[in-house]
Amino acid sequence: MPGGSTAVSATAGHRQSALSLHQILALLMVASLVVSVAKRSFAADNDQGAQLAATCAACHRFDGHNRGMPSIVGLSEEQLVTVMRAFKSGERSGPIMRTMARSLSNEEIAILARYFAARGKETQGR
């Protein structure tokens, strides 16, 4: 009965397609969860960056202009981290900046660096 084996093959093929569809849906659900968590993490870093940056605003301008104090908006993450670590270790002089840098953890310095690098990209896009 050649017709009977075709029906069985079609059913098996349908199950295989359905299983693939379930796998695809599961993968999409996991991917959306990962993206959601990543967005929340970025938002939390950005909020913490804004909170930490409020202290910097006492001396540094956030509009990218240098009027007596160097602007830190637009520095790359690497540049700001390097400068802050130099102040923190005493390699770079400046009693106020050394005190500020020493009050921050390495993680907080990294958060600030990401925040200011992103702000620089925003101001350049205007």
For the chain, percent of residues with pLDDT exceeding 90: 29
Cα dihedral 20/25/31/35 (nearest 10): 160
pTM of full prediction above 0.85? no
Q: What pLDDT shows up at residue 126?
A: 47
Residue written as tokens 């104090």? 69
Tell me the helices (H) and strands (E) count for the chain, helix number first. Answer: 4, 0
CATH number of 2-124: 1.10.760.10
Any idea which of 21-25, 27-31, 67-71, 107-111 has the lowest mean pLDDT? 27-31
Per the model's pLDDT, the better-predicted residue between 50 and 29 turns out to be 50
CA distance 66 to 49: 21
Given a cut of 80, whether residue 47 has pLDDT beyond it is yes
